[in-house]
Amino acid sequence: MTRATLRDVAAHAGVSYQTVSNVLNDHPSIRPTTRQRVLDAIRTLDYYPNQAAKALRESRVTTLCCAFYGHSASDISDPYRNLIQSAFVAQSNQSGYDMTTAFLSHGQPQSFQTLKSNFLQQRFAGALVVGSNLTSQEVQMFRDWKMPTVFFDHTVPALDMPSVTADYAQGMVQLVTHLAQQGRRRLALIIPKDDQGSTAAARRESFTQAAEQHGLAHQVVQGDWSYDSGKAAFEALHAGSFAPDAVLAGNDRMAAGALRAAHRLNVDVPGDVTISGFDDFEFALFTAPTLTTVHVPYGEMARKAVELLLTEISPGSSQAVQLSLPTQLIIRESA
Amino acid sequence: MTRATLRDVAAHAGVSYQTVSNVLNDHPSIRPTTRQRVLDAIRTLDYYPNQAAKALRESRVTTLCCAFYGHSASDISDPYRNLIQSAFVAQSNQSGYDMTTAFLSHGQPQSFQTLKSNFLQQRFAGALVVGSNLTSQEVQMFRDWKMPTVFFDHTVPALDMPSVTADYAQGMVQLVTHLAQQGRRRLALIIPKDDQGSTAAARRESFTQAAEQHGLAHQVVQGDWSYDSGKAAFEALHAGSFAPDAVLAGNDRMAAGALRAAHRLNVDVPGDVTISGFDDFEFALFTAPTLTTVHVPYGEMARKAVELLLTEISPGSSQAVQLSLPTQLIIRESA
DNA sequence: ATGAAAGCGCTAACAA
DNA sequence: TTGTTAGCGCTTTCAT
């Protein structure tokens, strides 16, 4: 048995199939009795309009895409990716859109080609690009494709493309001030190094500035956002000569690694050294001591990003909005 | 400027547009020179085939849907949902499929209607249904819709629908045996109560059996999978008369809550009481002490589930396969 | 080896 | 208020 089409419904209701279409699209000027007859036919035949035909005819799709840059598809535990993806899905579903996912990576121009291809094939209407160290050429590509795009966690001031990010500088200043007030004098930040215009850069730069403003000794050591790198970085600091009394991790995952290393090395936290994170993921409550961290409103950011994307997609699109949401220091036990 | 179509390419290459189609679909019997000419035209016009038209004509879509049952879209931190969703996305992308997400809930029959509607509208080709306490009527609905479906983490023996789950009983037996060998005599399990045929039921039942087999005192207390409920349950146990020397949480998230409660109450873990989880999420490494838990191979399960779904979708579909993958006890510090 | 014709299911003019 | 006509971009016979 094959699926019912418009014509089947029309035949069943004894009208022409365009009338059925009119009923479906709430067109005015349809006699209530006809309307009812059509509705009944739809119900008894269990008719559902074919989405592909509709999309073809209207040349519009109700799917969005979130593209993660620099995140491996196979790291299915990445809390950052997972949280953001879920937030996007929740928000776009609420707006009547589906959401698919793609992965971009710097090394693979083909990943960009695939995304472009999927867009031009009309598989999705616009993309949320999540990634903090896209090159400006890469950003430029999106504009060239004329693909509605919102950059997430990556500001691109020069190119004025729509973006949503958080005020990392503010959070970092709050954190450093808090540490200074506690009498901490020697601050070390664990964070990725060689990426510009990224959230890492924002966090790093404001760290340095804030530390200097407070007259504190400071050092930056490298991590790659992972638990293991946080652990390794703390061990390196412990073995090194700088001897920090406050270790700031660039994200919660590295902070968890640092905490573990401290525990292993019998370093008291926060007695001997404070350890703090950045993100405020749920597991910041799971560590012992619980993690002092900077809350980043990812949920809210995702909501805004989807909103921005949808206005960008809609016909009378305005100019590029660049949003930055406030962060907030969350003081728990570790700092 | 509008997007190039098949006819534009044909005009540019000086052939009929069906020839272009043939080139695109690797049809035999096309002269290499013509072929090359067409390929050039495609390249210079930056042509991409319209997906909607293709889907309409071929009546097939390359999108899958994962539907979460009993998981709130707004709990964007849920590690279970997040991990599984990511695993599905990773796997289906690798197979050339997109993946969208939907949410079902027991209270809302409309959520099921929406899913059905989306399927019949040909928005996706098949669904992965994640949820551990669907009623059998609900399961039956999927069969009635004739929608290719694989149930994840929910076995439905009576209805022989395809499913992928893990051998929770085995993991639980390993865990209880391990605890018994350590000399633990009084075991308490924190787990949701009133759901049948679910993973919770599987874990609960094998807990009781295993405890009795080892001649251990045992008790079950209620939790709802959340961090807070784990914390509350541990506090209740501490205040109660059963006085367990081993607390088993039904998942890692509740175990984290129990650990926190133990810490607050100055209960030594694992000295006074062991605490263990179930899942082996990444954050099981973040707790202090690190969490002894039962590893559930969600990544592998997701891979298999997508595989099963794709064979179910493909024309010559065979019968329903019900997979169960082995679990494994991971001994860390907490038990 | 290539071109012509038909039609997937729908919407949006227009005509009746 | 309803029916007629056309066509979205593509694949698939069937002729040539």
Over residues A118-155, the pLDDT tens digits come to 999 999 999 999 987 788 888 888 888 989 999 999 86
Q: Report helix, strand or coil for B42.
A: helix
Of B78, B281, B288, the CB nearest to A287: B288
**How far apart, in whole angstroms, are the C-alpha atoms of residue B23 and residue B37?**
10
The pairing of beta strand A322-325 with beta strand A328-330: unpaired
Beta-carbon separation of B120 and A48 below 8 A:
yes
Higher pLDDT: B39 or A212? It is A212
A56 touches strand D (CB under 7 A): yes
Beta-carbon separation of B48 and A117 below 8 A:
yes
CA angle B109–B110–B111, rounded 5-degree value = 90
Query: Residue B162 CA to D13 C1' — how many Å?
Result: 38
Residues recorded for chain A: 335
Q: What is the pLDDT of residue A40?
A: 87
Structure tokens at B290: 């690190």
**How far apart, in whole angstroms, are the C-alpha atoms of residue B33 and residue B30?**
8
Mean pLDDT of the A60-74 span = 91
Q: Which residue matches tokens 């001994």?
A: B331
Question: What are the Cα distances from residue A201, in Å, to A206, A207, B135, B152?
Answer: 8, 10, 51, 41
Question: What are the Cα distances from residue B22, in Å, to B17, B25, B109, B278?
Answer: 9, 5, 46, 54
Query: Residue B56 CA to D15 C1' — how many Å?
Result: 26
Who's near A301: CB < 8 A, 6+ residues apart? A87, A152, A153, A164, A165, A166, A323, A325
Question: Of A43, A98, A259, which to mutate for an interface test with B (greatest number of B Cβ within 10 Å)?
Answer: A98
Residue A193 has pLDDT above 80, yes or no: yes
Residue A157 has pLDDT above 70, yes or no: no
Torsions phi, psi for A226 (to 5 deg)? -90, 160
Who's near A215: CB < 8 A, 6+ residues apart? none
Torsions phi, psi for B190 (to 5 deg)? -100, 120
Torsions phi, psi for B293 (to 5 deg)? -155, 170
Question: Of B98, B116, B266, which to mutate for an interface test with A (greatest number of A Cβ within 10 Å)?
Answer: B98
Residue B196 has pLDDT above 70, yes or no: no
Cis upstream peptide for B289 (omega within 30°)? yes
Mean pLDDT of the B61-80 span = 91
Beta-carbon separation of B101 and A120 below 8 A:
no
Which bases in strand D are touched by protein, i.e. have an atom under 7 Å from a CB?
1-5, 7-13
Q: What is the pLDDT of residue B315?
A: 75
Strands (E) in B6-162, as ranges, are 63-69, 98-104, 126-130, 149-152
**How far apart, in whole angstroms, are the C-alpha atoms of residue A220 and residue A209?**
12
Exposed e or buried b for every residue in A53-77, given b needs 16+ CB within 10 A?
bbbbeeeebbbbbbbbbbbebeebb
Mean pLDDT of the A218-240 span = 96
CA angle B315–B316–B318, rounded 5-degree value = 125
Cis upstream peptide for B148 (omega within 30°)? no
Determine the CATH number of domain B6-49: 1.10.260.40
Q: Report helix, strand or coil for B31.
A: coil
C-alpha dihedral sign at A82, A85, A91, A95: negative
Residue A207 has pLDDT above 70, yes or no: yes
Who's near A147: CB < 8 A, 6+ residues apart? A116, A119, A126, A127
Beta carbon pairs, A and B, within 8 Å = 153
Q: Which residue matches tokens 């616009």?
A: A126
Give the end-to-end CA distance of chain A in Å, rounded to a whole number. 67
Structure tokens at A260: 């573990």
Beta-carbon separation of B100 and A99 below 8 A:
yes
Beta-carbon separation of B48 and A90 below 8 A:
no
Of A61, A76, A123, the CB nearest to B87: A76
**What is the 3-state secondary structure of chain A?**
CCCCCHHHHHHHHCCCHHHHHHHHCCCCCCCHHHHHHHHHHHHHHCCCCCHHHHHHHHCCCCEEEEEEECCCCCCCCCHHHHHHHHHHHHHHHHCCCEEEEEEEECCEHHHHHHHHHHHHCCCCCEEEEECCCCCHHHHHHHHHHCCCEEEECCCCHHHCCCEEEECHHHHHHHHHHHHHHCCCCEEEEEECCCCCCCHHHHHHHHHHHHHHHCCCEEEEEECCCCHHHHHHHHHHHHHCCCCCCEEEECCHHHHHHHHHHHHHCCCCCCCCCEEECCECCHHHHCCCCCCEEEECCHHHHHHHHHHHHHHHHCCCCCCCCEEEECCEEECCCCC
Query: Residue B20 CA to C4 C1' — how many Å?
Result: 15
Residue B1 has pLDDT above 60, yes or no: no
Query: Residue A65 CA to D4 C1' — how many Å?
Result: 40
Question: What are the Cα distances from residue B18, in Å, to A122, A187, B38?
Answer: 21, 68, 11
State the amino acid at position A245 in one-letter form.
Answer: D
Q: What is the pLDDT of residue B156?
A: 67
| H helix or E strand, kind and range, residue B28 | none
**How far apart, in whole angstroms, are the C-alpha atoms of residue A182 and residue A37?**
75
B286 neighbors A287 (Cβ within 8 angstroms): yes
Q: What is the pLDDT of residue B188?
A: 98
B298 neighbors B84 (Cβ within 8 angstroms): yes
pLDDT, tens digit (0-9, with 9 covering 90-100), for B250-281: 999 999 999 999 999 999 999 999 999 999 99
**Could you tell me how far CA A249 lies from the centroid of its own chain?**
20
A19 touches strand D (CB under 7 A): yes
Question: What are the Cα distances from residue A282, in Å, to A80, A279, B256, B279, B286?
Answer: 11, 9, 11, 16, 12
Q: Mean of the per-residue pLDDT values for chain B?
A: 91
**How far apart, in whole angstroms, are the C-alpha atoms of residue B25 and residue A50?**
24
Beta-carbon separation of B52 and A52 below 8 A:
yes
Query: Residue A16 CA to C15 C1' — how many Å?
Result: 15
Q: Assess whether the region A63-166+299-325 and the region A168-295 belong to the same CATH fold.
A: yes
**How far apart, in whole angstroms, are the C-alpha atoms of residue A296 and residue A285?**
15
Residue A58 has pLDDT above 60, yes or no: yes
**How far apart, in whole angstroms, are the C-alpha atoms of residue A102 and residue A113?**
12
B276 neighbors B172 (Cβ within 8 angstroms): no
A16 touches strand C (CB under 7 A): no
Beta-carbon separation of B285 and A101 below 8 A:
no
Of A77, A98, A101, the CB nearest to B282: A77
Of B82, B87, B98, the CB nearest to A123: B98
Query: Residue A47 CA to C9 C1' — how many Å?
Result: 12
Which bases in strand C are touched by protein, i.e. have an atom under 7 Å from a CB?
1-5, 7-13
Q: What is the pLDDT of residue A209?
A: 97
Residue A20 has pLDDT above 90, yes or no: no
Question: Of A65, A77, A231, which to mutate for an interface test with B (greatest number of B Cβ within 10 Å)?
Answer: A77
Q: What is the pLDDT of residue B137?
A: 85
Query: Residue A327 CA to D13 C1' — how many Å?
Result: 63
Residue B220 has pLDDT above 80, yes or no: yes
**DSSP per-residue letters across B155-217:** --GGGT--EEEE-HHHHHHHHHHHHHHTT--EEEEEE--S-SSSHHHHHHHHHHHHHHHTT-E
Higher pLDDT: B313 or A28? It is B313
Q: What is the pLDDT of residue A194?
A: 67
Domain extent listing, chain B = 6-49, 63-166+299-325, 168-295
Residue of A nearest to B302 (CA): A76
Beta-carbon separation of B86 and A76 below 8 A:
yes
Mean pLDDT of the B122-126 span = 94
Beta-carbon separation of B82 and A83 below 8 A:
yes
Going by C-alpha positions, the residue among A130, A220, A194, A202 that lies closest to residue A166 is A202
A12 neighbors A38 (Cβ within 8 angstroms): no
B128 neighbors B305 (Cβ within 8 angstroms): yes
Highest mean pLDDT among B3-17, B20-34, B167-181: B167-181
Mean pLDDT of the A265-283 span = 97
**Is domain A168-295 given the CATH code 3.40.50.10190 in the classification?**
no
Class of domain A63-166+299-325: alpha beta
Other C-beta atoms lying within 10 Å of the C-beta of residue B96: 8
Residue A46 has pLDDT above 70, yes or no: yes
Higher pLDDT: B134 or B311? It is B311
pLDDT, tens digit (0-9, with 9 covering 90-100), for A79-133: 999 999 999 999 999 999 999 999 998 888 889 999 999 999 999 999 999 987 7
Within window 33-52 on B, which residues have Cβ closer than 7 Å to strand D? Answer: 49-50
Within window 70-109 on B, which residues have Cβ closer than 7 Å to strand D? Answer: none
Question: Of B101, B121, B130, B260, which to mutate for an interface test with A (greatest number of A Cβ within 10 Å)?
Answer: B101
pLDDT, tens digit (0-9, with 9 covering 90-100), for B289-314: 999 999 999 999 999 999 999 999 98
* pLDDT above 90 coverage of chain B, percent: 65
Highest mean pLDDT among A43-47, B62-66, B67-71: B62-66
Who's near A241: CB < 8 A, 6+ residues apart? none
